[in-house]
Amino acid sequence: MALVADGVSRLLIDGKLTSGGAGGFATVNPATEEVLGEAANADAADMDRAIGAARRAFDETDWSTNTELRVRCVRQLRDAMLEHVEELRDLTIADVGAPRMLTAGAQLEGPINDLSFVADTAENYEWTRDLGQASPMGIPTRRSVVREAVGVVGAITPWNFPHQINLAKLGPALAAGNTVVLKPAPDTPWVAAVLGELIAANTDIPPGVVNIVTSTDHALGAMLAKDPRVDMVSFTGSTATGRSVMADAAATIKKVFLELGGKSAFLVLDDADLAAACSVAGFSVCLHAGQGCAITTRLVVPRARYDEAVAIAARTMGSIKPGDPSKPGTICGPVISARQRDRVQSYLDLAITEGGEFACGGGRPADQPAGFFIEPTVIAGLTNEARVAREEIFGPVLTVIPHDGDDDAVRIANDSPYGLSATVYGADAERAAGVAARLRAGTVNVNGGVWYSADVPFGGYKQSGNGREMGVAGFEEYLEIKAIATAAN
């Protein structure tokens, strides 16, 4: 089986691979600007059929109650992806612009292997808990708490880590007993569409349980949020779009999971190894051209060593050259599109307007005439009040901000509408842990610790969203709780 063999991907609706009602749209390689092929372009009628298929599959089959079938199907999907992993790797590099090195982790192999955790969780989950007998209001009663599927899940996903996010929604939702309509970002349609091919050819997933609808029409996502046949919307993307999803879902009071933006802080305490900390900060913001919501894009350093910190970060980032993501050594590939490149550039221009300066970078690399590339850039001379220090840029851009001690560093880190992630570096482990405990963020890395793992919940505070993805908490997002009380005579 060759994935997207004819250069044209298809929709998966009600168990069938079909073309889109609106024809097709071009899939573009962001590193070369070359057209890779075509993706099916769904229209509103296609989305309506997909929602209807998911509703029927949930209401009329035993999918929601047959745990053994669900576990087997999730493992079949995992095995099919592993069997085709090299094809998927090449497809991901071309469709996403993801550096090859990242496909060994969160861009491909990590989320595939994470399906094992999801299947194991469903297989061993305590679906019914016996609370024993009691006599509320004097009536002998045996009580139990049952966990069961929410119903039809509309999953809306972005383009930056599509395998990670598609599977972090699809895997738990299916394992929990839901049916799903997946609406991926139009920037990376192929990596979602191939899931439909693999599901249709390699799994026992019944028709209608999974529907994958690629489209350039963003209104189709709004259909998922508004349609009363959909019981839950799981959305990852910008905070602005998250607000719209929440507003659209409010009409039917459906359950909403949101994983949104971030402007995460990297705090360097005054006893830390400054060179090591600032080098790590500079390196991490270059990964996948900074296109990660949890990447720490504010480097908060002791004021007395500010110039030194800027120089270290600039030396690190200036040595990382944007390049061909298919090459093994590439760290910083392209951003996803010309639109995104122009958006990042507008923030770089704004940084100068706001009074900042570039310690390195600041524009498009001269040695890359094609592709949507941006130089890794260090911005100095601004405070946390600057827009480039407060708004999510989604590019390889690091803003360096001075602090006046631990309390001030925490204040700066928390002075943000977001609260997705953070990092703390300090020689005194207890002191660093104490600072980490005061941060209003969903994930915190202390001195290089790694929180990304299948069993660790991921999500944020404040306008970074609500709910958690991954871990048991992520699995339980897709469950309802039912209490059953039976008279004990």
**396 with 377: CB under 8 angstroms?**
yes
Burial per residue of 154-186, b for 16 or more beta-carbon CB atoms within 10 angstroms, e otherwise: bbbbbbbbbbbbbbbbbbbbbbbbbbbbbbbbb
Dihedral-angle region of residue 371 (phi above 0 means left; psi in -120 to 50 means alpha; beta otherwise):
left
Separation of alpha carbons 189 and 194, rounded Å: 9
Strand segments (E) across 150-231: 152-156, 179-183, 210-212
Q: Is 293 designated active site?
A: yes
The amino acid present at 344, given as its one-letter code, is V
The amino acid present at 349, given as its one-letter code, is D
Q: Is 259 designated active site?
A: yes
Backbone phi, then psi, for 103, in 5-degree steps? -75, -15
For CA atoms 146, 148, 150, 151, give the dihedral sign: negative
**Candidate list 73, 278, 286, 293, residue with the active-site label:** 293
Separation of alpha carbons 202 and 181, rounded Å: 19
**418 with 392: CB under 8 angstroms?**
yes
Burial per residue of 219-256, b for 16 or more beta-carbon CB atoms within 10 angstroms, e otherwise: ebbbbbbbbebbbbbbbbbebebbebbeebbeeeebbb
For 363-413, give the DSSP string: S--TT-SSS-----EEEES--TTSHHHHS---SSEEEEEEESSHHHHHHHH
> For residue 461, what are the contacts with CB-CB under 8 A and spacing of at least 6?
419, 420, 440, 441, 442
Residue 158 tokens read as 């972005």
The amino acid present at 258, given as its one-letter code, is L
**Candidate list 259, 375, 392, 477, residue with the active-site label:** 259
Separation of alpha carbons 92 and 263, rounded Å: 26
Backbone phi, then psi, for 213, in 5-degree steps? -125, 100
Dihedral-angle region of residue 136 (phi above 0 means left; psi in -120 to 50 means alpha; beta otherwise):
beta
> For residue 136, what are the contacts with CB-CB under 8 A and spacing of at least 6?
none
Three-state secondary-structure class, residue 147: strand
Between CA 60 and CA 218, with CA 173 as vertex, the angle to 5 degrees is 95
For CA atoms 387, 393, 399, 401, give the dihedral sign: positive
Active site residues: 259, 293
